[in-house]
Structure 1
């Protein structure tokens, strides 16, 4: 009996050890996802936090509204150019080897912008140089997050739920940006510039110590890589083009609507500064919660991903068209909340379809093109809405509603729920 008991104790002890090891691995993965999620949060803060500060910058730097808008635009335009390059390098060298230097470069750009704004009288052009470096850093940071999540998990439901957390962090950055930007600027107008290097440094430390990305073999040479990428795109072009298009339009609508709401709150309802930030946070908060729930719910079900995206786009289309008929402030906010939910449930689905539908070797490059399309939407949404606001507000919502309806059709006929691979 003693012998049997000893064997049983050894067996139980071994099972306990395996269980604890498995629990530790899961805990490590959770902290890794949190660390990775800090990147879109920081990159979003790095750009959107400056929006409420632009009028103050115009006075302090003695620049025009167009010049102040370049402080935002240059960040996105530079990122659009460098994202595909960063995607290729991440496929060839590994995700962390691209993300960490990119975060450091974004921090350096923030230091340059902050220091020149603090110490120099004619700081505008040096601020733009700093913002350019931040844009390059952003290109190698946030877009590489999607393929990194895909590399870390073999289970697609873990991928989708983790991508839901990533989109939640991205949206949380948008929620916090107008509030933090206004709060920091109320202390010293250039304080938002100083906060960016601090946030980037925190992300770097978390990536270094808490994220163990899978080792990937060095990718093919450029010529071979381009040939294979062309083959992948040709084989998958229909659903890839559909997701690229929808992703870009969703960001165009989101940032266009935010620009419109920001302008209307101040000009029509007299709501500004920190109070305006809280009003903007309402629809963005709905988007944030919707992203998290959708990421948890879709799991591995690609058919569900398609139809959740379809429903989200329907909600967005209805809310943007109906907006043209009402002027009540709270009804306006309520309709924006519905549109935000529509965008929020769509984004994790699109992320999961891209991440799980492409081979690991080319995941960084393909997902970076998707990220570029999203940045294009971010860059062009506000200026186009600003032009239309001078003509007619109804035109704005007809345009946005029409684009949302077009996305519904593209989703319905262009996205295939089955997994796509290259033979």
Structure 2
């Protein structure tokens, strides 16, 4: 049964905190261990150009297993995939801490990546399953805040643990085990299986994915992750290093400040969507992205970055939860997990392409050119959102596309 409850009751709902635990686990795999990379390299005699394999071996399994797990979660139920995934993540992550060689560490990272593959999809799927209307927007915003707080805090926590030893950040993975136990015994969900024939099921998934509205939302998410991972996380940090000679700690503090603004903004999504629809918030974010990255090359005083950094945090807090909320509500429950798996793959594609393409711009044009390219991506985002995101997007809660 779906929940539609007051804000005060919402914050007392145990399901909500289980979802938060899944979200925090889903973003732990890279951000918590990145500060330990130099220590891992020295301890295991790994060259700098090889250390990035720790990310590659962790993320690649998701490309294969996420859609498979999404289909299985739809065909059976969410717990069948969620609970074993959390246990595998926690056990394999702990095994990473006990590895004796880099090759062994990479093998355990593959298993941890398989455990992680479904987590970023099933947390959103559960939100769609359990909450309706403005409650869903509110929970999506809360979840975006939790994600932003996690991505802000994990590097600091992982860096502090890495001072003790290279393996200690991996022990954070143990937190996935109590989350798995809580999900096993306390997560509320409907347990009936999806009874659709597999051919009909796949046909309906394909039909929903290739609708004009959904493709536009996917494209908006793709542009967002090019801007986020290419323009902001990669080349804005390089700008702070090359132009302003800031230390890694200072750069991390600046990025954490932006994540804090994102968390605050995301937490207000329920209130924002009560006044503006998600399409309006996405369009506003697209405009902000464009203005921010067009502005960055002209900033000569470090303190003046407070303006674009804060605006970027606001844009992120409005944009990503709004897109997620629309996509989550658009897909009928019968194939929601598979539907959101496709969105996860779009995000990963933007995450991979953004730094690579902007790296070519950096190499052949200039550092400033990377921000102009990000602004150009923002313009494409504006065109897409204003052209295709018009009127109310139909919700699967009101009318299922599955024929009875």
TM-score by length of 2: 0.89
- In structure 2, relative to structure 1, the CA distance for the partners of 1:273 and 1:60 (3 Å cut) is farther
Deviation of 1:264 (Å): 4.0
Which digits, 9 at most, give the CA deviation of each residue in 1:343-390, with x for residues without a partner?
A: 210111111111111211011111111122112223333444444444
Report SS of the residue matched to 1:206: helix
Per-residue Cα deviation, 1:149-193 (whole angstroms, up to 9, x for no partner): 11112x311111111111111111111122112111112122111
Do the aligned partners of residues 74 and 246 (structure 1) sit closer, same or farther apart at CA in structure 2, a change above 3 Å counting? farther
Find the partner of 2:118 among 120, 128, 140: 140
Equivalent residues of 1:320, 1:339 under 8 A apart: no
Q: 1:323 aligns with which of 292, 296, 299?
A: 296
Matched, 1:342 2:315: yes
- Out of 358, 364, 371, the residue aligned to residue 344 of structure 2 is 371
Helix, strand or coil at the partner of 1:324: helix
Deviation at 1:59, TM superposition (A): 2.4
CA contact (8 A) 1:91 1:362 kept: yes
- Structure with the higher fraction of residues in helix conformation: 1
- 1:291 aligned onto 2:276: no
Report whether the alignment pairs 1:126 with 2:101: no
Matches within 5 A, 1:83-102: 83-102=66-85
The CA distance in 1 between the partners of 2:53 and 2:146, in whole Å, is 26
Q: Which runs of 5+ in 2 are unaligned?
A: none
Greater alpha carbon shift after TM alignment, 69-78 vs 176-185:
69-78
Q: CA deviation at 1:71?
A: 1.0
Q: Distance in 1 between matches of 2:362 and 2:306?
A: 18
Map of 1:9 onto structure 2: none
Deviation digits for residues 225-259 of structure 1 (CA, Å, limit 9, x no counterpart): 2122223334xx11111111111221222222112
SS in 1 for 2:323: helix
Name which of 301, 305, 309 aligns with 1:332: 305
Note the residue ranges of structure 1 that are not aligned, 5 or more in a row: 1-21
- Equivalent residue in structure 2 for 1:241, among 215, 224, 239: 215
Judge conservation of contact 2:73–2:81 (CA < 8 Å) in 1. yes
Say whether the 8 Å CA contact 2:208–2:214 is kept in structure 1: no
Task: Measure, in 2, the Cα distance between the counterparts of 1:27 and 1:308.
Answer: 23
Name the structure 1 match of 2:134. 157
Q: 2:44, 2:160 → 1: CA distance? A: 20
CA RMSD, 1 decimal: 2.4
Residue 206 (str. 1) matches residue 195 (str. 2): no
**CA contact 2:83–2:181 (8 Å) conserved in 1:** no
Task: Please show how residues 8-407 of structure 1 align to structure 2 within 5 Å.
Answer: 26=9, 30-116=13-99, 120=100, 123-153=101-131, 155-196=132-173, 198-234=174-210, 237-256=211-230, 257-299=232-274, 304-391=277-364, 392-407=366-381
Q: Distance in 1 between matches of 2:110 and 2:300?
A: 39
Instruction: Measure, in 2, the Cα distance between the counterparts of 1:73 and 1:252.
Output: 18
Match of 2:394, SS? coil
- Alignment of 1:414 onto 2:391: no
Report Cα offsets for 1:288-308 as digits up to 9, x if no partner.
111111244315x8x711001
Give the C-alpha shift of residue 47 in structure 1. 1.3
- TM-score, scaled to structure 1: 0.85
CA distance in 1, matches of 2:225, 2:54: 19
CA contact 1:44–1:174 (8 Å) conserved in 2: yes
> In structure 2, do the counterparts of structure 1 residues 191 and 173 end up closer, same or farther at CA, with 3 Å as the change threshold?
same
Distance 1:232 1:267 in 2: 46
Distance 1:167 1:310, change over 3 A: same
Q: Would you say how many aligned residue pairs link Structure 1 and Structure 2?
A: 390
2:279–2:385 CA contact under 8 A, matched in 1: yes
Q: Does the 8 A contact of 1:103 with 1:137 survive in 2?
A: yes
Output the CA distance in 1 between the equivalents of 2:238 and 2:158: 16
The 8 Å contact of residues 313 and 408 in structure 1, kept in 2 or not, is answered as yes
